[in-house]
Amino acid sequence: MARTRRLALAFALVALAALPLAAKDKFPIQITVKDEAGAAVGDARISLTAESGEAFTLSGTSDAKGGYAGSLPDFSRVYRLSVSKEGFVPFEQPLDFVAQKIEAGMTAQLVVTLTTPKGPTAEQLYNEGVAAIQQRDLATAEAKLRQALELKPGLAQGWMALSMVLADDKRWQESLDACDKALAATPDQPALLRIRFEALDKLGRTDEATAALDVLVAKAPSAETAVLVFNQGAQATNHGDLALAQHRFEQALTLDPSLYQAHAALAELHIRAKSYDAALAELDKALALSPKNVRALERKVEVLKALGKKDEAAAAEKQLADLKASG
């Protein structure tokens, strides 16, 4: 005959009647989730995590009647019970079975009553957070957004806004964590893909950052993305990875053909390789887009001299002198 022990737990837990105990389940636990009116709450997220000893987590969701059943490895440790659902205040409390004299062969049966928030809704708090961002009051913005997300963990725009606030504060790991939660709901959001790349890049996770940038190029090809691609090419140049640098500069031009800086950067790579004809072609493209680019014109003079094109070099030098004289 199965035995039930009443758990003297504060807050929202009360004992239920015992159910028959399967012989194989020596440490069963049964949970019923209700709202304040006593109605069953289905699809509530439930987890029980051991607070000591060998790692163990039991998790799942309540059924249409608010019920959830599982089995623990023992009743000798303290477990942390967490229950949450959007629109309710998350519930969390430790379960000390030893203190309650729960033993093998007994069924621990609980009712969790989820309460509704008494105050602003998640959406109201989110809007207050956005207003604070617009006022550049980022401390208030973060506080409001975290409150909103505590009430509604699935609020994707809340995670996105929080990720932006944290990135602005250069808290890159926290920003990445918030960004990934937002991306779980909106995987192709360009702003989130940009934040994810930037966070990984700043954290020094180079391979992951490169992969994230490739995703951004595929999902959000734009002039803004071209700048990020160009910047990674510049970093690759500084680190001596000239193949990646050339790939990124060419990729940036595919995204934004008006990005004259990429032509100039490709010219520098060709100069390093003493491929002066290729360098000259890139410099001419850069100057076509940015005719008053003094640096590009200086490099053109040097390349023309290296190619032995004295007359063209002289003409370019005169053009350079006129450009400098014009201010």
Under 8 Å between Cβ of 183 and 157: no
Number of domains within the chain: 3
The domain boundary, picked from 114, 135, 153, lies at 114
Q: What does the alpha-carbon distance between residue 65 and residue 140 come to, in Å, rounded to a whole number?
A: 40
Report the CATH number at residue 40: 2.60.40.1120
Q: What b-and-e string marks burial along 220-254, b requiring 16 or more CB atoms within 10 Å of the CB?
A: bbeeebbbbbbbbbbbbbeeebeebbbebbebbbe
Residues 194 and 249 in one domain: no
Task: Say whether pTM exceeds 0.75.
Answer: no
3-state secondary structure of 315: helix
Residues 187 and 244 in one domain: no
Residues 327 and 225 in one domain: yes
What are the structure tokens assigned to 223, written together?
């002039």
Residues 246 and 317 in one domain: yes
Report the CATH number at residue 146: 1.25.40.10
Domain presence at residue 44:
yes
Residues 8 and 110 in one domain: yes
Residues 124 and 104 in one domain: no
The domain boundary, picked from 175, 203, 231, lies at 203
Domain presence at residue 163:
yes
Residues 95 and 124 in one domain: no
Domain presence at residue 213:
no
The domain boundary, picked from 114, 149, 179, lies at 114
Distance (Å) of CA 93 to CA 118, 154, 263, 305? 20, 22, 61, 77
* pLDDT of res. 6: 40
Which residues, 6+ apart, have CB-to-CB distance to 111 below 8 Å? 12, 13, 14, 15, 16, 31, 32, 33, 34
Number of other residues whose CB lies within 10 A of the CB of residue 18:
15
Which residues, 6+ apart, have CB-to-CB distance to 257 below 8 Å? none
Domain presence at residue 270:
yes
Domain residues for 14? 3-114
Domain presence at residue 214:
no
H-helix or E-strand spanning residue 34: strand 28-35
Residues 147 and 182 in one domain: yes
- pLDDT (tens, 9 = 90+) of the chain, 327 residues, equals 445 444 433 333 333 333 444 434 578 999 999 999 999 999 999 999 999 999 999 999 999 999 999 999 999 999 999 999 988 888 999 999 888 888 888 888 899 999 987 888 899 999 999 999 999 999 999 999 999 998 888 899 999 999 999 999 999 999 999 999 999 988 889 999 999 999 999 999 999 999 999 999 999 999 999 999 999 999 999 999 999 999 999 999 999 999 999 999 999 999 999 999 999 999 999 999 999 999 999 999 999 999 999 999 999 999 999 888 887
Residues 198 and 229 in one domain: no
Residues 60 and 131 in one domain: no
Domain presence at residue 212:
no
Which residues, 6+ apart, have CB-to-CB distance to 236 below 8 Å? 242, 244, 245, 248
